[in-house]
Amino acid sequence: MTWGRVRRLEEAVASTRLTTALESLRPRTFLEFYGLAVIALVVGAVVAAPLIAPDPLAQDLTAQLAGPSVDHWLGTDNLGRDLWARILYGGRISIVTGVFVLLTAGAVGIVYGAVSGYAGGIVDAVMMRIVDIFLSFPSIMLALLISAALGPTTRNAIIAIAAAWWPVYARLIRGQVIVVKEREFVTASRALGAGPIRNLFLTVLPNSFGVMKTIFVLDIGYAILAGSTLSFLGLGVSLPTPEWGVMIREALQYPTHWWFILSPGLALMLFVSAINFAGGIVTRSVHEIPIR
Amino acid sequence: MSAVSRDAPALVEVEHLRVWFPTGRGPSAERRGHIKAVDGVSFTVRQGETLGLVGESGCGKTTTARAILKLLEPTEGRIAFDGVDLSTVSGRELRLLRRRMQPVFQDPFASLNPKRTVARIVAEPLVIHRQGTRAERRDRVSELLDTVGLPPDAAGRYPHAFSGGQRQRIAIARAMALRPDLIVADEPVSSLDVSIRAQILNLMSDLQQEFRLTYVVIAHDLALVRQVTDRVAVMYLGNIVELRPTEDLYREPLHPYTVALLSSAPIPDTGAEATRRRIVLEGDVPSPADPPAGCRFHTRCWLRRKLDNPDICSGETPPLTPVEGGEGAVACHFPDEVESSSERRETLVTIAGRE
Amino acid sequence: MKSLSAETTAGPAGPPGADGHLLSVRDLRVTFRAKRPVRAVNGVSYDLAAGEHVGLVGESGSGKSAGALALVRLLPDYAELDGSVTLAGADLMSLSERELRSIRGDEVGIVYQDPFSSLNPVLTVGKQLTEVVRKHRSVGARAGRKEAARLLETVGVPNAEERIADYPHQFSGGMRQRAVIAMAVSPRPALLIADEPTTALDVTVQAQILELLQQLTSEHGTTMLLITHDLGVVAGVTQRLMVMYAGRIVEASSTEDVFARPAHPYTVALHRSLPRIDTRQERLVTIEGQPPDPSHLVEGCPFAPRCPSRIDRCAVENPPLMTLPTARRAAAAGWEPLAIRERDGNPVPGPAGPHLTACWNPPVPEASSTGAGGNG
């Protein structure tokens, strides 16, 4: 507001605080620390699953629907399979689904949105109307439709969710590109003779990711949720493969055996909320990188 | 900077340049208007000279500069660089032309890509124009950094590690990378600390002599313009009102607006401030979307009021007419009256020179 | 944070307020908390008399703005203040935020650099002006509005009656700054702080605004503290000058003295490095190096690394503000701080005070301006 002159000092203060990008990525609050720790633990356990858990598909018909015990830490399911193992192996699929959805939707959305925003005019108008059409469907509905059409496999689930999500990224990045392309260093690059492709991808885009980074990180959690939702509805991963959504679906038939539904539900909740908590770090790093 | 003979060949020729920006997007024609940022401007820039474009915000000086650099398209008129009409070139030809003309912007905080190291920023023109091998480019970057007075270890750092003056040096190094003929500098020092400005101005002057550069310098600071230019074009609302050799303009201005500008510039000297006459113009610059008819300056002109508001001022646009018995041109119906006015005399008591 | 440092207020100037100064500042310090604290203002003292126009000149980072805003504690939370500020006998540093609020505006008006951001964009200019009028005078809505229009007219906004319904964005930059000035002067403050009031404006408009400020402050006998980086702006408007560098006042005297007989190498160099409209120099004299980083102040005089006339003592000891005769002899005679204080007392820039400089080796005035040596 009235801080015209003080602002410069504040900037000076901010820049002394900023030493390295890494430092700003260090967790500062308890929740951020907790989030990072949970993510590290879960990812570590999932990767190390073969070392720390039995075969997730091995059936032990003598121990169907057994409660938590020394043999089966989290109990067993209706076919006597170890839930601890299924959670870990299922996490592999859930996390991979989440990351791939993000990569696919992100890549498509960013290129599409960047081109649209940079081109401007009629090209932009047409490209954005197409995005509007996509956005006018509820995204889960769209994913369901596509998934139903393609058949229930992990790959198809990724394609289905990515297809529903890319327009959001396209919109976001377009807005950023429109702002950044008017900045002076872009004009400077143009005056040097840089062509539009070089200009867009090497000069404009790297400076357009600011807000996107946060949204992207938070969205990993939602992508995992979306993947599980599809599986839960029977349109994602096919049955014998353990996946958190699939497990919840299976467990629904045995509402009296609480451990059955609790483990995948808790796993999902723990992991997604951890990502949300840790997301604050990225937000902060975005704000601390000098924009001018 | 160096004196350039008036017969030096033209590097840039601007003829009847108009740049209009559309405003409003109504369906009806009358709601659609234009900001007439530049409205019929002609001048040449001679090889090796420094031409100043001065005027207040909204006078069209920056737009003119951007048109020369082909960063925006003229609505009308012709701009030629070394005889080549800019509107006819594109693709490879245009890229070759761009190597010969480079901008330096006002705000070195905005004109450098914050995500790149200094080495990459300075090397960018070489990469774009595929000049040299990687090793050669690295050598050229250190050479350039040295030329603009930056330490060699600057190469590995990011722009935010530098002060304003140093950043402007980086921007100048980038502009010099392709050994251009023309540099268009838009307020090159106005965002810098006062104690740093002289360093940058001297650097630009050294580079001009060493590399035989031609400069177009845009500035609102009249003191600075007197220091660095050979000729000056004074702009007002999209028109050039006076275009003269620098010393002539400061010693004997012929347009009432020039007189007023000179009289408003503060002088860091208490004696001069106490004795001088200041012509305070009334009101603001009118909107370039709806400029006054006739002479565009007539609504604020002190001379018009003194001459009892002659009709010609509001009725007829004065053309830019060559000055009798001198060099340059002025666009006023009554240049003789300016010359004999007490206002000009009293303004010039302090301006004309301390030699 | 708001402790009064008793010793620094002693000296020939006497306790602040007692000798009729409108404003007395003693040993003002502003530090912005950060990992490496930014020492924006490092012990600034001065007096302002009623009706004076005083210029505070410095570059960005010199602490001139932080020092002025600190007077009414208008700084962000992470700023630490120290020292004493006395306005018409009232100790501003010990006032509560609520008491201060009535001082701001009522006693101290402020005009900022950027008229775009100092007006609220969603309220009409008239509404904002009326608010100010009614806050300081108990008048009705209609009378307030009328007064607002009158104010707008006195600051030279044409058709004030109609323009009062306009929003700030419908005003030009110059008109907006006029409206801001109208708000600042409407309560008839005793002190007007103008922080780079013309930097964002064009030259012809700058001339208008400076004239307006001159006229309004002289009419009401307002004291004006004009903060700027532009030596040209202060030359015509102020009677006294204080030059700041790296958070301290390095030179102070009458404006005429500072221009004709600058006594600090920084002032000399700054003056010589400016292009001038009335002449063309062969080559501009430059000040080498960069302004100091206020989060990284070193021992000795902060200007020493850039100073053409530095001597050995400059590198180890930051010179205090001294009278010129003392400054000329202090280094050669090897006077210690105590000896200097004995000779000078504790000189504080104030009305009709001597020419002060913080330099161990002050420049000798050029031959043309004789008789400068022993003034004061």
What's the confidence (pLDDT) of residue C368? 44
Alpha-carbon span C2 to B334, nearest angstrom: 64
In a domain, B207, yes or no: yes
Residues B201 and B83 in one domain: yes
In a domain, C122, yes or no: yes
* Strands laid side by side in the C38-48 sheet: C38-48, C23-32, C79-87, C90-91
What is the pairing mode between strands B239-245 and B321-322? unpaired
Residues 149-188 of C with CB under 8 A from B: 158, 172-175
Asked if A292's CB is within 8 angstroms of B109's CB, the reply is yes
pLDDT category at A79 given cuts 50, 70, 90 is confident
Quick count: other Cβ atoms within 10 Å of Cβ C143?
A: 14
Residues B203 and B136 in one domain: no
Residues B261 and B336 in one domain: yes
Considering only CB atoms, C277 lies closest to which of B223, B281, B355, namely: B223
Residues A193, A194, A197, A200, CA torsion sign: negative
> In this predicted complex, what is the ipTM?
0.82
Alpha-carbon span B158 to B167, nearest angstrom: 10
Number of residues in chain C: 376
What's the confidence (pLDDT) of residue C15? 40
Asked if C40's CB is within 8 angstroms of A6's CB, the reply is no
What's the confidence (pLDDT) of residue B24? 61
Considering only CB atoms, B194 lies closest to which of C172, C229, C235, namely: C229
Closest CA to C199 of C263, C284, C133, C111: C111
Residues 14-33 of A with CB under 8 A from B: 15
Residues 5-34 of A with CB under 8 A from C: 5-6, 8-10, 12-13, 16-17
How do residues C324-368 score in pLDDT, each as one tens digit? Answer: 999 998 888 888 888 888 888 888 999 988 999 999 999 987 644
Contacts of B98 in chain A (CB under 8 A): 191-193
As a whole number, the mean pLDDT across chain A is: 81
Residues 181-220 of A with CB under 8 A from B: 183-185, 187-194, 198, 203, 206-207
Count structural domains, chain B.
3
Considering only CB atoms, A6 lies closest to which of C35, C61, C65, namely: C65
Alpha-carbon span A51 to A57, nearest angstrom: 15
In a domain, B245, yes or no: no
Lowest mean pLDDT among B299-308, C73-82, C111-120, C178-187: C111-120
In a domain, C162, yes or no: yes
Closest-CA residue in chain B for A195? Answer: B128
Closest-CA residue in chain B for C241? Answer: B270
Chains in contact with chain C (at least 3 beta-carbon pairs closer than 8 A): A, B
Residues B291 and B150 in one domain: no
Tell me the two tokens of residue A21: 């990008």
Tell me the two tokens of residue C301: 């005089």
How do residues C307-320 score in pLDDT, each as one tens digit? Answer: 999 999 999 999 99
Residues B71 and B39 in one domain: yes
Domain limits, chain A = 27-52+75-288
Tell me the two tokens of residue A106: 């992100």
Alpha-carbon span A11 to A8, nearest angstrom: 5
Residues B290 and B271 in one domain: yes
Supply φ then ψ for residue B12, to 5 degrees: -125, 130
Residues B212 and B78 in one domain: yes
Supply φ then ψ for residue A238, to 5 degrees: -75, 160
How do residues A242-263 score in pLDDT, each as one tens digit? Answer: 888 888 888 888 878 888 888 8
Q: Could you tell me the fold of the domain covering A27-52+75-288?
A: MetI-like fold (1.10.3720)
Residues B187 and B91 in one domain: yes
Residues B270 and B125 in one domain: no
Q: Which domain holds residue B276?
A: 253-355
Who wins on pLDDT, C263 or B193?
A: C263
Contacts of C283 in chain B (CB under 8 A): 202, 205
Considering only CB atoms, C235 lies closest to which of B224, B267, B280, namely: B267
Task: Give A34's strand partners.
Answer: none
Asked if A9's CB is within 8 angstroms of C117's CB, the reply is no
Lowest mean pLDDT among A150-154, B40-44, C40-44: A150-154
What's the confidence (pLDDT) of residue A156? 87
Alpha-carbon span C174 to C165, nearest angstrom: 17
In a domain, B150, yes or no: yes
Closest-CA residue in chain B for C238? Answer: B270
Who wins on pLDDT, C104 or C222?
A: C222
C113 and chain A: CB distance < 8 Å anywhere? yes
How do residues A96-113 score in pLDDT, each as one tens digit? Answer: 888 899 999 999 999 999
Asked if B268's CB is within 8 angstroms of C271's CB, the reply is yes
Interchain CB contacts (distance < 8 Å): A and C: 55
Residues 156-175 of A with CB under 8 A from B: none
Contacts of C206 in chain B (CB under 8 A): 264, 266
Residues 215-274 of C with CB under 8 A from A: none
Using an 8 Å Cβ cutoff, are C250 and C241 in contact? no
Using an 8 Å Cβ cutoff, are C198 and C237 in contact? no
**In the predicted structure, residue C13 carries a pLDDT above the cut 60:** no
Closest-CA residue in chain A for C34? Answer: A13
Lowest mean pLDDT among A187-191, A282-286, C357-361: A282-286
What's the confidence (pLDDT) of residue C362? 93
Alpha-carbon span B17 to B41, nearest angstrom: 5
Asked if A4's CB is within 8 angstroms of C112's CB, the reply is yes
Supply φ then ψ for residue A226, to 5 degrees: -65, -40
Per-residue pLDDT of chain B (355 residues; tens, 9 = 90+): 455 667 789 999 999 999 998 876 555 555 567 889 999 999 999 999 999 999 988 899 999 999 999 999 999 999 999 999 999 998 889 988 999 999 999 888 889 998 899 999 999 999 999 889 999 999 999 999 999 999 888 999 999 888 888 999 999 999 999 999 999 999 999 888 888 899 999 999 999 999 999 999 999 889 999 999 999 999 999 999 999 999 999 999 999 999 999 988 888 888 888 788 888 887 778 888 889 999 999 999 999 999 999 999 999 999 999 998 889 999 999 999 998 998 888 887 666 555 4
C-alpha distance across the termini of chain B, in Å: 18
Quick count: other Cβ atoms within 10 Å of Cβ A209?
A: 17
The CA distances from residue B193 to A184, B157, B163, B197, C318, in Å, are 20, 22, 10, 6, 23
What's the confidence (pLDDT) of residue B350? 64
Contacts of B115 in chain A (CB under 8 A): 206-207
In a domain, C101, yes or no: no
Count structural domains, chain C.
1
Using an 8 Å Cβ cutoff, are C168 and B225 in contact? no
Asked if C274's CB is within 8 angstroms of B198's CB, the reply is yes
What is the pairing mode between strands C248-254 and C79-87? unpaired
Contacts of A208 in chain B (CB under 8 A): none
**In the predicted structure, residue A3 carries a pLDDT above the cut 50:** no
pTM reported for the whole predicted model: 0.80
In a domain, B4, yes or no: no
Residues B96 and B31 in one domain: yes
In a domain, B347, yes or no: yes
Supply φ then ψ for residue A27, to 5 degrees: -65, 140
Alpha-carbon span C325 to C374, nearest angstrom: 6
Instruction: Provide the CA B256 distance to its chain's centre, in angstroms.
Output: 20
Residues B268 and B342 in one domain: yes
In a domain, C155, yes or no: yes
Closest CA to C240 of C328, C323, C356: C356
As a whole number, the mean pLDDT across chain C is: 85
Residues 98-127 of B with CB under 8 A from C: none
In a domain, B321, yes or no: yes
Interchain CB contacts (distance < 8 Å): A and B: 62
C202 and chain B: CB distance < 8 Å anywhere? yes
Choose the mutation target among C35, C56, C104, C108 for the interface with A, i.e. most A CBs under 10 Å.
C35
In a domain, C335, yes or no: no
Tell me the two tokens of residue C109: 């008006």
Alpha-carbon span C241 to C232, nearest angstrom: 12
Average pLDDT over residues A136-150: 85
Closest-CA residue in chain A for B126? Answer: A192
Asked if C117's CB is within 8 angstroms of A4's CB, the reply is yes
Residues B63 and B80 in one domain: yes
Contacts of A10 in chain C (CB under 8 A): 32, 76
Using an 8 Å Cβ cutoff, are A76 and A60 in contact? yes
In a domain, C72, yes or no: no
Contacts of C285 in chain B (CB under 8 A): 198
Average pLDDT over residues C248-269: 94
Q: Which domain holds residue C133?
A: 118-188
Considering only CB atoms, B113 lies closest to which of A185, A191, A289, namely: A185
Please report, for the domain that includes residue B21, its CATH number: 3.40.50.300
What's the confidence (pLDDT) of residue B307? 92
Average pLDDT over residues C68-81: 87
Closest CA to B42 of B10, B9, B70: B10
What's the confidence (pLDDT) of residue A12? 42
Identify the residue whose tokens are 């120099």: C281
